[in-house]
Amino acid sequence: MRGSFWPVMNRIMTAIVWLGIQIYWGGQAVRVILGAIIGKPLIELKNTIPESSSIETVSVISFVIYLAIFWPILLLPPEKMQLPFRVRT
């Protein structure tokens, strides 16, 4: 039992880092999609966040939109997600 602690912690930390990377790039993808749909008003949106934070208001908005879409999917149990794969075959 003691020997399994390191692999389990390693897997947990890897999952946390990978989830962070996916959420960041998902937010950037939503930003591009919103830029294509909304266009110039989104691109010219005033940045209300200080320059020292290295992030823009548009990035925060797209990040929150992506989380609102992605978070409910994470709450689905894996057993429920097998149905789309069965329908496909």
Q: Print pLDDT tens along the chain (89 aa).
A: 778 889 999 999 999 999 999 999 999 999 999 999 998 888 888 988 898 988 889 999 999 999 999 888 888 888 877 877 777 65
Indicate the DSSP class of residue 76: S
Nearest to 42 by CA among 32, 53, 27, 50: 32
Place of tokens 């097998």: 82
Cβ neighbors of 47 (< 8 A, separation 6 or more) are 56, 57, 58
Amino acid at residue number 86: R
Q: What does pTM read for this prediction? A: 0.73
Left, alpha or beta for 39 (phi > 0: left; psi -120 to 50: alpha)?
left
